[in-house]
Structure 1
Amino acid sequence: MAHHCHDGHHDHDHADSDEMGIQYNLFEKIDKENLECLNESIEGAGKTVFKPWDKRLDRVNFVESDADEELLFNIPFTGNVKLKGIRIASEDTDSHPAKLRLYKNRPNMTFDDISIEPDQVFELQKDSEGVLEYAPKVVTFSSVSHLSMHFPSNFGAESTKIYYIGLKGEWTPGHRHGVTICTYEARPNLDDHKLKHLDSVTKQID
């Protein structure tokens, strides 16, 4: 009987997990080619922490800071994002980041730029499973094409480790106006040209 109850509970968790997976899907809308993590000890490791919700407990891929405990992520999106939630999973040690500073729409930030006042700051608690959700200010983060996440400190270790960063929100296409407009203009013009050409062919046959 007890086992049966446990199964029921497990199903419930699974349903919640599916729902979280749907909510925490903004990693799909990150321009991974141009995502960068500064002060990562292994090049490219920072990109691996933006992964599906069901991979949040994966301990194979993680990022660790190099020279000191700071990490700075520059995260370009493939459109505009209304950011509604952030989850971070690290380990239950002093390597867990202790603070998160958010900047919106400031591409290519470096450690020289972090003296600028952030748009929001979160004091983080140790969380090895990504259960805590941090809520960005809706008004501030309603149209984000680029998000910078600065982790300035941890709980006292020499380096900071992060296993998972989850982002929840709504995505709408297009902030690269130049590219978008060119693409849309090119298509109708091509079609018009083809149609005119077909018309003239038809008339000649008549």
Structure 2
Amino acid sequence: MPHGHSHDHGRGCSHEATDVDNALEMGIEYSLYTKIDIENTECLNEETDGSGKTVFKPYEKRLDSSKFVQSDGDEELLFNVPFTGNIKLKGIIIRGSNDNTHPNRLKLFKNRPKMTFDDARGKADQEFELTRDCRGEVEYSPKVVTFSSVHHLSLYFPSNYGDDVTRIYYIGFRGEFTEAHFHGVTICNYESRANISDHKEKTFDGVGRAIQ
């Protein structure tokens, strides 16, 4: 279910400091964009090459409308997003325009690199119905059990509110990050046959009796 994040809380400008604090807190929580392997991130069906990567940015820049991704020819967009380690995904924000170019559905897939549109039309790990969010304040909550160890995330937007193209300004991720650990090959030498002289004089059989 989506959750709204409103920073004025209906209390007016006298609580501006509190609003700034809340924005800073959200900015910290939505910092997983720094853990994206942006060089290997891809967006299928983007009108302008490389524009899909620009929607992953700091929370405080989510209202910047100068950079966005727009679909080419129809309303579908598919993001393949690798991370530099493992994440536990707890929240997603999708900001679009307050018009019919805003996507109205999202399908999430975990750990399936290089997905195609044919792949994305299959069963997702989770789906969301999206509301129009032109301020980046609506959070969608993935199932933590499902998305607790994610090194690659695919986001498929199959449709919008009725326009020929889909436009997205910001995609934010909230959660926890764990560094990837790469273990080298350990080379061990094992004896092919035990050499009695290399061991203690006494050994024990299966029931603990000393063998002379």
Q: Distance in 2 between matches of 1:115 and 1:64?
A: 20
Q: Distance in 1 between matches of 2:115 and 2:137?
A: 29
Match of 2:133 in 1: 127
**How far 1:10 moved relative to its partner?**
1.5
Q: Which has the higher helix share?
A: 1
The one-letter code sitting in structure 2 at the alignment partner of 1:136 is P
The one-letter code sitting in structure 2 at the alignment partner of 1:25 is S
**How far 1:13 moved relative to its partner?**
1.1
SS in 2 for 1:150: strand
- Determine what percentage of the aligned residue pairs are the same residue: 57
Instruction: Could you tell me which runs of 5 or more consecutive residues in structure 2 were left unpaired when the two chains were aligned.
Output: 1-10, 187-212
Query: Which residues in structure 2 correspond to 1:7-26 (within 5 Å)?
Result: 7-26=13-32
Query: Which residues in structure 2 correspond to 1:30-179 (within 5 Å)?
Result: 30-174=36-180
The one-letter code sitting in structure 2 at the alignment partner of 1:13 is D
Is residue 187 of structure 2 the alignment partner of residue 181 of structure 1?
no
Would you identify which runs of 4 or more consecutive aligned residues in structure 1 move more than 4 Å? none
Instruction: Could you tell me which runs of 5 or more consecutive residues in structure 1 were left unpaired when the two chains were aligned.
Output: 186-206
Q: Distance in 2 between matches of 1:32 and 1:172?
A: 17
Q: Distance in 2 between matches of 1:73 and 1:82?
A: 18
Q: TM-score, normalised by structure 1?
A: 0.82
What is the CA deviation profile of residues 117-147 of structure 1, one whole-angstrom value per residue up to 9, with x for unaligned ones? 1000000000001111000001100000000
Counting matched residue pairs gives 176
What is the CA deviation profile of residues 31-70 of structure 1, one whole-angstrom value per residue up to 9, with x for unaligned ones? 0010000000000000000000000000000000002100
Match of 1:203 in 2: none
Query: Which residues in structure 2 correspond to 1:187-206 (within 5 Å)?
Result: none
**How far 1:114 moved relative to its partner?**
1.5
What is the CA deviation profile of residues 94-127 of structure 1, one whole-angstrom value per residue up to 9, with x for unaligned ones? 0000000000000000112123210000000000
SS in 2 for 1:136: coil
SS in 1 for 2:67: coil
Q: Distance in 2 between matches of 1:6 and 1:139?
A: 38
Q: TM-score, normalised by structure 2?
A: 0.80
Q: Distance in 2 between matches of 1:6 and 1:150?
A: 38
SS in 1 for 2:75: coil
**How far 1:7 moved relative to its partner?**
4.4
Residues 124/6 of structure 1: CA separation in 2 closer, same or farther (3 Å cut):
closer
**How far 1:12 moved relative to its partner?**
1.4
Match of 1:193 in 2: none
**How far 1:6 moved relative to its partner?**
4.8
SS in 2 for 1:127: coil
Q: Distance in 2 between matches of 1:59 and 1:147?
A: 24
